[in-house]
Structure 1
Amino acid sequence: MNSLFENTEIAFKLKTDSELERAYFLFKMISKQPLVRIGTAATNFALKAKLPVEGLIRSTVFDHFCGGINEEDCMPVIDKMYTRQVSSVLDYSVEGKETEEQFDSALEKILKIIDFSEHKNAMPIAVFKPTAFGRIDLYEKKSDGKAFTEEEQQEWDRVVARYHKVCKRSKAKDIEVLIDGEESWMQTAADDLVEEMMRTYNTDKAIVYNTLQLYRWDRLNYLKGLHKRAKTDGFIIGMKIVRGAYMEKERKRASENAYKSPICETKEATDTNFNGGLRYILNNNKEIALFIGTHNEDSCHLAMQLMNEVGISKSDNNVWFGQLYGMSDHISFNLAEAGYNVAKYLPFGPVKDVMPYLIRRAEENTSVAGQTNRELELLKTERKRRKI
């Protein structure tokens, strides 16, 4: 089993030689922190100055990490990956919106994706961020238990209505919907709202999935409490587990506001927490459906081992593995080749609007040196195998 993720021929089978070279070049650049900082600043400046750089961005970093600028643009990528039994989760990766018009627009986009997915076997899952449907300040106030003004209550009611529209449509079309996790200071309100959706729509199977960011030391207890309520009240839990995406921001805010950081103190503690959550959910597979969002090979091996021990079949729809498009192809395509359910998060949107996502991807890869080095090592191996 330990050699499963070493097969670069399967991992990069869909990449042409030129695409392989582009990937190698990108990860080589990302591995150098000063270049990422300079490139980020230059890109932001060029876009704000309306310089003609979108074509360059599109042909390099955008096309490596994103599926396209709209749903139709993503179809060649979606169909190509599905030839290797890797499904797609279309992720509208436009961030930082704050108006009701923008939230309604995001709602229509997600509903369109769900309708679009209904007749595509390659797209069994949809996704949205809580802040795609409402202001983060509103979630934060709700999380803190502070009373809303009448106007804020009406605004919150519209957020709730957007959630219901998406989850109701997902249930009608039998498309599972993942609701991403965000910053800890707004997450309680999101958790409560997603639980309301699970109670309403997860009566027969998991349609609605929350996200558990397990770099937070309190999340396993939250999961166990949710599980008790689900068993008592008769609904199925859907849960995506990830390590987390806001560590530096979380620690900085905790330090500035003099409260205990919600983030585990060490990477080892985070790994232990993640694997504990994985183990708990797979041991309760009939009551909790699982989407394993990880680029960590050890966690994938553990999941496969636990599935085997508990007697969960590789194709059980209650267990999915997921990675981001443009990363960890050695995990995604080798797992799919072995018969497991695998989906790639496939970001899309206008180039300019998706830049915050792309910059975060580059910065995260730079800060996690092991991830970037692993990508480079595998790309080198495949280049050598192809004699490029």
Structure 2
Amino acid sequence: MVRSRLYPPSLRLMGTAASKPLVAKQPNLTPTSPLSFENPSAFRVKSFGELLRALSVFHFCSFPSLVNNCGKLMSVAQSILGRRGLSLLLKPTFYAQFVAGENEREIFKSMEKMSLLGLRPMLAVPIEEDLGESSGEKRYDDNMGAMLECVRMSHSNSWSKDPMMQLKITALLNPELCAKLTKLISQQPYDLSLLVRAMDGESISFPGLEESEVSHFLRGLQRLNKVAEASVNKVRVLVDAEYTYMNPALSLVTMAMMKKFNKDGVWIWNTYQCYLKESRSLLLNELHLSKNEGFRMGVKLVRGAYMDKERKLAETEGHLDPVHQCWEDTNDSYNGLLDAMLEVISQRPERYRLIVATHNEESVKRAAKRMEELNIDKDGGSVCFGQLLGMCDHVSLTLAKEGHAVYKSVPYGSVADTLPYLVRRAQENRTVLQGIRKERNLLQQEFSRRLRGGRRSPE
């Protein structure tokens, strides 16, 4: 793995002065009861059909061989049933569990239902590319149109306070170029101002890139600029992290977008994968960069989803494994950065924002407890929580009931368009999918109660 040297050496986490460590606020003297995710009553808002569907889907996902080979199974099913037949099979099951809908009416119906449950949708266009999947400029322009439509739908969703959406840079910028940029900036860093000028339409020459690559990079930056311009003062854009061989380039572009658009508010966010050994130094360096460059910063904190591929790639290319060696180290990494961000936010809530994007109950409880100790408002906008649509609802619904801001990542589109996305997410999150025994048990308890004559709670 090649790391970017765009940023200065790792620092201690700082407050307003470089030499002054963070000091937490006095804890709230009237603590609330600790969060508990043991009660199946969280699912009483679901219909009988929704309970049955979730139980069926989660039962399928409990078999590792099925999850690991779901892409091949879908291909076989399509060859037997045809595209339409496969769509008819998936739409009421896996698709309905994890996707908001195909058209605007279906998407808005799903978003409205979430709102009634106290949850907030975070729309995600299921478009991304990896090496060897690059498209032409027209396809990237079409993808930009889809992103602008996502901004429009997120903003017109009047029942959701403080709307958010997700964005993958490789939907608008060639992944091969991102990989090449990662290598280049490890040797010769690019100044953020250079990228900002390119976003504004100035013809810039980037050292190390060929003429055709410069042309594509300029067009890609201008596509990102259009999406950002459309979202400012309307929708917060959370840029996803991807693979280590392109992440430094993605962070460079994201920091440039922050420099341009996060002067007076936190509209562009970056994602930090805590299963990577470098996650702490990367986040601390970029916090320092935001302070020096004078822009505000949004942070999406995740554990990470590309572990197997990262390890295989490191072994193939003879690099050090970039991923923590054990689950406990990843947990320590996540919880350490979570604590650090909450302390920063307690001092400068107007300057930093955080989404605790995890299905891990202990990290969620830790975040809620520290927020209370640091007097961070549950729904003040500085800290929120995030989980995937169709998963971890017992955590999401409990958090919302307790007054926290909770977002569900909501992909949308046709079955054909979302199927590759769903297959990738299933394989990347298979340890989560296979570990949902507790959620399945809670669903089963509510399902059994309903069979005995218990009623669904009114919405």
TM-score band w.r.t. shorter chain: over 0.9
Inter-partner Cα distance in structure 1 for 2:184 and 2:128: 26
Q: Distance in 2 between matches of 1:292 and 1:113?
A: 22
**Conservation of the 8 A alpha-carbon contact between 1:30 and 1:365:** no
Q: 1:31 to 1:288 in 2, by over 3 A?
A: same
| AA at the equivalent of 1:246 | Y
The number of aligned residues is 386
For residues 193-232 of structure 1, the C-alpha deviation after alignment (integer angstroms, 9 at most, x for no partner) is: 1101111111112110000011111111111111112222
For the Cα contact (< 8 Å) 2:354–2:382, is it kept in 1? yes
**Could you tell me whether the CA contact under 8 Å between 1:71 and 1:348 is conserved in 2?**
no
Equivalent residues in 2 for 1:92-103, closer than 5 Å:
92-96=125-129, 98-99=134-135, 100-103=137-140
1:17 aligns with 2:81: no
Distance in 1 of aligned mates of 2:210 and 2:145 = 27
Q: 1:328 to 1:205 in 2, by over 3 A?
A: same
In structure 2, the residue matched to 1:228 is: 288
Residue of structure 2 in register with 1:386 after alignment: 450
Pairing partner for 1:266 from 313, 326, 337: 326
Alignment of 1:149 onto 2:181: no
Bigger proportion of residues as helix: 1
**Separation (CA, whole Å) in 1 of partners of 2:86 and 2:370:** 48
Aligned pairs for 1:76-115 (under 5 A) are 76-96=109-129, 98-99=134-135, 100-115=137-152
1:376 maps to: 440
Q: Take 1:365 and 1:380, find their aligned partners in 2: how far apart are those partners?
A: 22
Task: Report the 3-state secondary structure (helix = DSSP H, G, I; strand = E; otherwise coil) of the residue aligned with 1:118.
Answer: helix
**Equivalent residue, structure 2, for 1:354:** 418
Give the whole-Å Cα distance in 2 for the aligned partners of 1:48 and 1:290.
44
Further displaced range: 318-327 or 358-367: 358-367
Q: Residue 95 of structure 1 contacts residue 354 of structure 1 at CA under 8 Å; is this kept in 2?
A: no
Secondary structure of the 1:295 match is coil
Q: Would the aligned equivalents of 1:254 and 1:261 in 2 still touch at CA under 8 Å?
A: yes
Q: Which one-letter code corresponds to 1:112 in the other structure?
A: E
Does the 8 Å contact 1:366/1:372 carry over to 2? no
Distance 2:227 2:240 in 1: 14
User: Match for 1:6: what amino acid?
Assistant: E
Q: Percent identity?
A: 32
- State the distance in 2 between where 1:85 and 1:353 align: 29
Distance 2:92 2:378 in 1: 36
Q: Would the aligned equivalents of 2:344 and 2:352 in 1 still touch at CA under 8 Å?
A: yes
Q: Which residue of 2 aligns with 1:247?
A: 307
1:31 aligns with 2:58: no
Question: Unmatched 5+ residue regions in structure 1?
Answer: none
Query: 2 CA distance for matches of 1:167 and 1:366?
Result: 32
Report the Cα distance in structure 1 between the residues aligned to 2:68 and 2:262, rounded to whole angstroms.
44
TM-score (norm 2): 0.80
- Range moving further from structure 2, 36-45 or 243-252: 36-45
The letter of the residue matching 1:98 is S
Q: What TM-score does the superposition give when structure 1 sets the normalisation length?
A: 0.94
How much has 1:74 moved relative to structure 2? 1.0
Q: Partner of 2:392 in structure 1?
A: 328
Deviation at 1:42, TM superposition (A): 2.7
Q: Distance in 2 between matches of 1:13 and 1:179?
A: 34
Kept in 2: contact 1:88–1:122 (CA 8 A)? no
What is aligned with 1:181?
A: 241
* 1:194–1:372 Cα change, 3 Å: same
Quick one: distance in 1 between partners of 2:425 and 2:434? 15
Whether the 8 Å CA contact 1:30–1:36 is kept in 2: the answer is yes
Q: What residue identity is the alignment partner of 1:109?
A: A
Q: Which residue of 2 aligns with 1:238?
A: 298
Question: Is contact 1:86-1:122 (8 Å) kept?
Answer: no
CA deviation digits over 1:345-374, x for unaligned, max 9?
A: 011112112112222343345434662212
Deviates more, 1:227-236 or 1:125-134: 227-236
Partner of 1:311: 375
Q: Any conservation in 2 of the 1:103–1:134 contact (CA below 8 Å)?
A: yes
| Contact 1:89–1:125, Cα closer than 8 Å, also in 2 | yes
- Taking only aligned residues, the RMSD between alpha carbons, in angstroms, comes to 1.8
The answer to whether the aligner puts 1:209 opposite 2:269 as a matched pair is: yes
Q: Out of 262-271 and 35-44, give the one that drifted further.
A: 35-44
For 1:48 and 1:103, the matched residues in 2 are separated by: 29
For the pair 1:46 / 2:107, whether they are aligned, the reply is: no
The aligned counterpart of 1:198 is 258
Greater CA drift, 43-52 or 145-154: 43-52
What secondary structure does 1:190 align onto?
Answer: helix
**Mapping of 1:116-135 within 5 angstroms?**
116-123=153-160, 124-135=163-174
Match of 1:283 in 2: 343
Q: 1:280-302: CA deviations, max 9, x gaps? A: 11111123210111000000001
Alignment partners' CA distance in 2, 1:63 and 1:153:
42
String of CA shifts for 1:109-139, please: whole Å, max 9, x gaps. 1111212222324440111111111121110
**For the structure 1 residues 308 and 20, does the alpha-carbon distance in structure 2 shift closer, same or farther, using more than 3 Å as the test?**
same
1:120–1:294 Cα change, 3 Å: same
